[in-house]
Chain A
């Protein structure tokens, strides 16, 4: 079974530029998550999708971050404009989980973003 795929693996941009990350979850996984992991800290949830709907985006800085999962499969996370403090690893995860129940989340390798 193929794992969660993410691209690009690395990205370096200047502040105020825009950047987009792509995630392809494990086939058949209804739920997709984006996490931000700042160096030295644990991952922090940004947004959770169930199929193509948003379940939780309470920690997403909506003035600059946006995410979509239009067909309920792939997802993109965008930052516009980027700030220095956005430098982090952006992790995508997926799970079988539907409403209720309990499932393991499977993580992709992450995209390491450096904002200069």
Chain B
């Protein structure tokens, strides 16, 4: 079953605008990660935020985590055409030794030039 659920499913904005995507999850986590997937390509790791962190920055990316609401957001500032891709949040299972990620269905982001 899907652990993370991204919102919105699709987002289209103009180049230069900011894009915000949200992710909700159901069970406790050790960390939450965001990945990007360009059409027909593999996933690229963007950023990881641990359960005891509330906010993290990496370049034009800003991630927040609210464990009380079991939600996270990914903000991309000053968007570029190259940011067009699908964005997935992924969570781990804090129990046991297995750490395969559970992904949401993703947000498809389109940046209009």
Contacts and interface: CB of A to CB of B under 8 A. Distances in A.
Nearest to B97: A99
B76 to A, nearest CB: 19
A48 B98 contact: yes
A43 B49 CA distance: 20
Residue of B30, B40, B50, B101 with most chain A CB atoms under a 10 A cut-off: B101
B26 to A, nearest CB: 14
B104 to A, nearest CB: 5
Given A40-B105, A42-B104, A99-B97, A91 B42 contact: yes
Contacts of B4: 42
Given A106-B45, A107-B42, A107-B43, A33 B100 contact: yes
A115 interface: no
A2 to B, nearest CB: 14
- Chain B interface residue number, banded: 20 to 34
A109 B31 contact: no
A25 interface: no
Contacts of A91: 42-43
Nearest to B2: A42
Interface in B31-80: 31, 33, 35, 40-45, 48, 50
Interface of A: 4, 31, 33, 35, 40-45, 48, 50, 55-56, 91, 93, 97, 99-100, 102, 104-110, 112
Interface of B: 2, 4, 30-31, 33, 35, 40-45, 48, 50, 88, 90, 96-106
30 contacts: A4-B42, A31-B99, A42-B90, A42-B103, A42-B106, A43-B88, A44-B103, A45-B100, A45-B102, A48-B98, A48-B99, A48-B100, A56-B96, A56-B100, A91-B43, A100-B97, A102-B31, A102-B50, A104-B33, A104-B48, A105-B45, A105-B101, A106-B45, A107-B35, A107-B42, A107-B43, A108-B42, A109-B42, A110-B41, A110-B42
